[in-house]
Amino acid sequence: MTIEHEKLPGLRVLVTGGSRGLGEATARRFAAAGATVLTASRTPPPADLPATFIPADLRSEEGAAELGRRVVDSVGGIDVLVDNAGAATAPMPTLKRSDASWLADLEMNLLSAVRLDRALVPGMVERGSGVVVHVSSIASHLPQSAEASYAASKAALNAYSRELATAVGEYGVRVVCVLPGFVVTEGAVDHLQQLADLQGVGVDEVKQQIVDHLKVPMGRPGEPEDVAEMIAFLASGRAKWLTGAQFRVDGGIIPVV
């Protein structure tokens, strides 16, 4: 549901990893609020997604730079950048995980954001306004067994996000981190299938195992729209004094006092 006073007409938004799951939900949320939305990913989004699609592969410096150029050519710059593109390599015991696996997770979950920010945030600085939302994960605070490289790459994203906020805050640019909990997206289903195959059980059983293991107070996984609402709020004027902070959307998994 789009709240009336949260309309965002004219806002130019880029959502990476926007072809499905959390990225798709976020793109739809901004579009419903009247924003001009661009999405970038390796695969096309659904045909009914009200956004301009730019094919991009953010696993390389060249891919991020090319996306930045195409975005500027298309809309002249952006007001909100949602660095959502990410991935996790297959579960693996920590001491058996290869360098290639570590590097793949760092490339996708940290450097893709670093590179795209480098291409687009200077335009925000020049205009004196803008919002960068880094989509991290509660795994950065609560790493799970056999998933060390993913958790470490997201923890690195958190640290980078905090420093970037300090670097650009005086120019009117805000940088925030959103940490989803156990959210069932298409990508999560793929990962759940890998875990299920390792155990020889079904995906639903693995899903329930995770809910039970994490002791989710809400008793269920999250939905992509739950996180998209937080992202839309953080990009709005109502969050104009929020920067350099992490916002958990996890159904209460991580207990804090």
Same domain, residue pair 179 and 193: no
User: In this structure, are 100 and 201 located in the same domain?
Assistant: no
Residue 255 maps to a domain: no
The reply to whether 138 and 206 lie within a common domain is: no
Helical pair 148-168 and 99-106, crossing angle rounded to 10 deg: 30
Q: What pLDDT is stored for residue 3 in this prediction? A: 46
pLDDT of residue 257: 58
Return phi, psi of residue 92, to 5°: -160, 135
Residue 24: which CATH number?
A: 3.40.50.720
Least confident of 21-35, 53-67, 134-148, 191-205: 191-205
Quickly state the pLDDT bin for 1 (edges 50, 70, 90).
very low
What is the average per-residue pLDDT within 5-22? 89
Same domain, 127 and 55: yes
Average pLDDT, the chain: 93
CB 38 within 8 A of CB 67: no
Give me the catalytic one of 30, 53, 150, 247: 150
* Residue 9, helix vs strand vs coil: coil
Q: Is 160 a catalytic residue?
A: no
Distance CA 218, CA 228 (A): 18
DSSP 74-138: HHSS-SEEEE-----PPP--GGG--HHHHHHHHIIIIIHHHHHHHHHHHHHHHHT-EEEEEE--G
List, for residues 155-204, the tens digit of each pLDDT value: 999 999 999 999 999 999 999 999 999 898 877 788 788 888 989 999 88
What is the pLDDT at residue 6?
64
Residues 47-97 pLDDT 10s? 999 999 999 999 999 999 999 999 999 999 999 999 999 999 988 999 999
Amino acid identity at 213: H
> 65 and 9, same structural domain?
yes
CB 256 within 8 A of CB 178: no
Q: Please tell me whether residues 128 and 216 are part of one structural domain.
A: no
Domain that holds residue 76: 4-183+223-249
Region 200-223 average pLDDT: 88
The tokens describing 45, both together, are 């989004």
Pick the residue with more confidence: 170 or 213? 170
Instruction: Note whether 115 and 158 are same-domain residues.
Output: yes
